[in-house]
């Protein structure tokens, strides 16, 4: 196994993210995000928290040779996968709290399902606004809260029952910014007062309940602290709660809903 990077991720973990999470969850969101940005020919675009480049590589198709696309992420492991999959973009390792770009350098700044993990989200939004040209578009997506993503809420509850509160809180982390009022307050505190927030319905698709639980545990912060017996116990709890969870082939599809915030730089 390779040495973990700044985010605690290895190249193997990043490849696993691309192989499992992208088709299960993230592939559906680039068209929605691109539509929200209105990105087009000649635009200079910054993708903040680009991960393995699932959104970046779709944006490249829209800007043409006259535009440019840059992806930035804290994880070099994620960036390694992104560079392999998207040679048409530039990628840089960096921190959203201190974007290494000049003021007003981009027409569009987009961030897909990253803001929840930032220690200071107001600073992150302020930095994204700083690098936007007047009239530029800022588009940010986060997951809605667990009340609107009930299967993940059940997974958090199963984690709490089988392991402990700290592990369950870790599983709930991606959903902690999923209230429109809180997201609006973050934008306002960052000096972005014209943001609009909309709800968007999505889905998650996994080959089975077992794959869902194992992928979520093993690709997350709990990979080294939850064993196979505990994963099996979580699966049993989810099956008991959702007895008709899977189809005939065992595959599962369930709602996974998001908020998208859009603002125009003045």
Burial grade of 55 (CB within 10 A; 0-12, 13-18, 19 or more): buried
Band (148; pLDDT cuts 50, 70, 90): very high
Measured between alpha carbons, how far is 67 from 104 in angstroms, rounded to an integer?
15
Spatial CA neighbour of 92 closest among 104, 76, 113, 110:
76
Q: What is the pLDDT of residues 154-178, one digit of tens each?
A: 999 999 999 999 999 999 999 999 9
- Asked if 151 and 41 sit in the same domain, the reply is no
pLDDT per position as a tens digit, 165-217? 999 999 999 999 999 999 999 999 999 988 999 999 999 999 999 999 998 98
Say yes or no to pLDDT of 1 above 60.
no
* Rounded average pLDDT over 80-96: 96
Predicted local distance difference test score (pLDDT) of residue 136: 97
- pLDDT at position 114 over 60: yes
pLDDT at 67: 98
**In whole angstroms, what is the distance from residue 187 CA to residue 144 CA?**
16
Q: Are residues 37 and 84 in the same domain?
A: yes
Query: Is the domain of 159 the same as that of 183?
Result: no
For residue 57, which of 25, 79, 76, 85 has the smallest C-alpha distance? 85
Q: Which residue has the higher pLDDT, 143 or 249?
A: 143
The rounded mean pLDDT for the chain is 93
Q: Are residues 194 and 217 in the same domain?
A: no
Question: To 10 degrees, what angle do helices 56-63 and 76-85 make?
Answer: 40
Query: Is residue 224 within 8 Å of 162, Cβ to Cβ?
Result: no
| pLDDT of 245 strictly over 90 | no
Pairwise CA distance, residues 247 & 159, whole Å: 24
pLDDT of 221: 67
pLDDT, tens digit (0-9, with 9 covering 90-100), for 22-71: 999 999 999 999 999 999 999 999 999 999 999 999 999 999 999 999 99
How many structural domains comprise the chain?
Answer: 2
**3 Cβ partners below 8 Å, 6+ apart?**
10
Please indicate, yes or no, whether residues 107 and 168 belong to a single structural domain of this protein.
no
Where residue 96 sits, what CATH number does that domain have?
3.40.50.150
The DSSP line for 27-69 is TTHHHHHHHHHT--TT-EEEEET-TTSTTHHHHHHHHTTTSEE
Tokens, residue 108: 């569009």
Whether residue 181 is found in the same domain as residue 234: no
CA distance 39 to 52: 20
Q: What domain range includes position 182?
A: 1-143+177-204+256-266
pLDDT above 60 for 118? yes
Q: Are residues 157 and 235 in the same domain?
A: yes
């Amino acid at each position: 196994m390779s040495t973990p990077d700044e985010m605690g991720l290895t190249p193997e973990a990043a490849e696993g993210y691309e192989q499992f999470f992208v088709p299960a969850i993230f592939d559906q969101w680039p068209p929605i995000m691109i539509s929200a940005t209105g990105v087009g020919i000649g635009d200079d675009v910054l993708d903040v928290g680009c991960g393995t480049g699932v959104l970046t590589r779709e944006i490249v198709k829209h800007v043409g040779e006259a535009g440019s696309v840059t992806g930035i992420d804290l994880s070099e492991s994620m960036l390694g996968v992104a560079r392999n999959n998207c040679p048409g973009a530039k990628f840089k390792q960096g921190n959203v709290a201190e974007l290494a770009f000049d003021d007003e350098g981009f027409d569009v700044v987009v961030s897909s399902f990253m803001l929840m993990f930032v220690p200071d989200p107001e600073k992150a939004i302020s930095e994204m606004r700083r690098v936007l040209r007047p009239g530029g578009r800022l588009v940010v997506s986060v997951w809605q809260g667990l009340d609107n993503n009930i299967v993940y809420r059940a997974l958090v509850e199963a984690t709490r029952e089988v392991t402990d509160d700290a592990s369950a809180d870790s599983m709930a982390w991606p959903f902690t910014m999923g209230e429109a009022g809180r997201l609006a307050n973050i934008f306002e505190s960052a000096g972005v007062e014209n943001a609009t927030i909309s709800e968007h319905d999505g889905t998650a698709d996994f080959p089975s309940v077992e794959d869902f639980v194992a992928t979520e545990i093993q690709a997350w912060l709990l990979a080294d602290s939850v064993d196979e017996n505990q994963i099996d116990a979580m699966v049993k709890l989810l099956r008991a709660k959702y007895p008709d969870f899977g189809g005939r082939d065992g595959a599962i599809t369930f709602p996974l809903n998001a908020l998208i915030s859009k603002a125009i730089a003045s």
